[in-house]
């Protein structure tokens, strides 16, 4: 059953990407929509999946991401760290027996607090299995909630989530600084100044300083968005101590990849961009082939 063609769905909060994957692992077709879980009604998943099959082919389906959360189709228990592909495959939740399954997320029960991920586990494990990163490495997946995963011998040993992207969005749209943060974010001087300032800590005071510098004329207008981005990404990057893990695999789009690469370099590390879509395909295909 699990050695033939199938449909893979990366089903996130706001977006969904469907892949038709041939038996040899080749991606034959891809469709991306904004039909993430926030656009779904709880009782609508079976009909949605039927529509996907009508469009993409009447094949078994393997889903990953927030579709397995308490806001998705079915809440699937987290797999504890250390986690690998075989563990994920053995813990699949079949919402339609023999037809549709959901990959479990992964949980890290640290000493200070717990952490969770859904969907990113497929990509970081896939990156190592595809040889895109070493089997033992620090991987970073920027986004609304940035994931940092420490991989050991091809397993997710532990990970940390930082709300970097979400905090930037909130500051840019709803804070006292919103009116100033209208410029395009770029990895230039203002961004790097923010990264450097983040090393000193005191993030909350630094943020208000953006307003104070503007109204007193200390800094020119127009660079605030880049500076705040550098301050937040810098805070995230410095906390991971990249100088102690100088080679970091970065699963990111070109825009975020450029920002994080610049911040990591400023903090003494070196980032290597990894194709996140290829990593997902590798991960989901390995899970499918391992499934019992």
Query: Using one digit for the tens of pLDDT, what is the confidence trace for 80-116?
Result: 999 999 999 999 999 999 999 999 999 999 888 999 9
pLDDT in tens, 146-164: 999 999 999 999 999 999 9
List alpha helices for the chain, DSSP H: 45-56, 85-90, 120-129, 164-174, 189-198, 203-215, 224-239, 254-266, 276-290
pLDDT of residue 200: 86
Q: Are 167 and 232 in contact (CB under 8 A)?
A: yes
Q: Which residues contact 48 (CB under 8 A, 6 or more apart)?
A: 35, 40
pLDDT in tens, 11-34: 999 999 999 999 999 999 999 999
In this prediction, residues 236-256 reach a mean pLDDT of 89
pLDDT of residue 3: 63
Give phi and psi for 99, each to the nearest 5. Answer: -120, -45
pLDDT in tens, 49-87: 999 999 999 999 999 999 999 999 999 999 999 999 999
pLDDT in tens, 269-282: 999 999 999 999 99
Please provide the size of the chain in residues: 292
Rounded Cα distance, 238 and 241, in Å:
5
Rounded Cα distance, 71 and 176, in Å:
32
Using alpha carbons only, give the angle 14, 174, 267 rounded to the nearest 5 degrees: 80
Q: Are 158 and 110 in contact (CB under 8 A)?
A: yes
Greatest pairwise CA separation for the chain in angstroms: 68
Rounded Cα distance, 170 and 249, in Å:
27
Q: Which residues contact 246 (CB under 8 A, 6 or more apart)?
A: 268, 269, 270
Give, for 33, the enclosing helix (H) or strand (E). strand 27-33
Has residue 247 got a pLDDT over 90?
A: no
pLDDT in tens, 161-189: 999 999 999 999 999 999 999 999 999 99
Q: If phi over 0 gives left and psi between -120 and 50 gives alpha, with beta otherwise, what is residue 137?
A: beta
Confidence band, pLDDT 50/70/90 cuts, at residue 219: confident
Name the superfamily (CATH) of residues 162-274: 2-keto-3-deoxy-galactonokinase, C-terminal domain (3.30.420.310)
In this prediction, residues 252-257 reach a mean pLDDT of 93
Given the structure tokens 């079915």, which residue do they identify? 74
Has residue 1 got a pLDDT over 60?
A: no
Has residue 245 got a pLDDT over 80?
A: no
pLDDT of residue 7: 98
Mean pLDDT value across the chain: 94
What residues does each domain of the chain span? Answer: 6-107, 162-274
Between the two ends of the chain, the Cα-to-Cα distance in Å is: 9
In this prediction, residues 116-127 reach a mean pLDDT of 97
Confidence band, pLDDT 50/70/90 cuts, at residue 2: low
What is the sign, positive or negative, of the torsion defined by CA atoms of 188, 123, 83, 110? positive
If you write DSSP's letter for every residue of 57-105 in order, what string do you get?
Answer: -S--EEEEEGGGSTTSSS--PPEESSB-HHHHHHT-EEEETTTEEE---
Share of the chain above pLDDT 70, in %: 99
Q: Closest by alpha carbon to 263, among 173, 182, 150, 186?
A: 186
Q: Within a 10 A sphere around the Cβ of 48, how many other Cβ atoms?
A: 18
pLDDT of residue 280: 97
Confirm whether 6-107 and 162-274 share one CATH topology: yes
According to DSSP, residue 142 is labeled -
pLDDT of residue 111: 80
The answer to whether the pTM exceeds 0.75 is yes
pLDDT of residue 289: 94
CATH code of the region 6-107: 3.30.420.300
Helix axes 203-215, 189-198, angle to 10 degrees: 140
pLDDT of residue 241: 80
pLDDT of residue 292: 56
């Amino acid at each position: 059953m699990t050695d033939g063609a199938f449909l893979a769905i990366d089903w996130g909060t706001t977006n969904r990407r469907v892949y038709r994957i041939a038996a040899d692992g080749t991606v034959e077709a891809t469709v991306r929509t904004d039909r993430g879980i926030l656009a779904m009604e709880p009782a609508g998943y079976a009909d949605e999946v039927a529509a996907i099959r009508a469009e993409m082919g009447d094949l078994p389906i393997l889903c990953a991401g927030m579709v397995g959360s308490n806001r998705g189709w079915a809440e699937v228990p987290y797999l504890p760290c250390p986690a690998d592909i075989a563990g994920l495959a053995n813990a699949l939740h079949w919402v339609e027996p023999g037809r549709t399954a959901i990959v479990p997320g992964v949980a890290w029960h640290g000493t200070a607090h717990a952490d969770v991920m859904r969907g990113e586990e497929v990509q970081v494990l896939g990156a190592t299995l595809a040889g895109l990163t070493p089997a033992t490495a620090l991987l970073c997946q920027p986004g609304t909630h940035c994931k940092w995963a420490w991989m050991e011998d091809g397993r997710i040993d532990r990970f940390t989530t930082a709300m970097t992207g979400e905090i930037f969005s909130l500051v840019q749209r709803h804070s006292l600084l919103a009116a100033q943060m209208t410029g395009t974010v770029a990895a230039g001087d203002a961004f790097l100044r923010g990264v450097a300032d983040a090393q000193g800590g005191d993030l909350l005071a630094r943020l208000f300083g953006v307003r104070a510098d503007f109204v007193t004329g200390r800094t020119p207008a127009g660079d605030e968005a880049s500076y705040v981005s550098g301050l937040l990404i810098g805070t995230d990057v410095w906390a991971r101590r990249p100088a102690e893990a100088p080679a970091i695999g970065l699963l990111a789009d070109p825009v975020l990849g450029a920002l994080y690469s610049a911040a990591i370099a400023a903090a003494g590390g070196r980032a290597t961009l990894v194709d996140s879509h290829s990593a997902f395909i590798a991960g989901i295909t390995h899970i499918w082939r391992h499934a019992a």
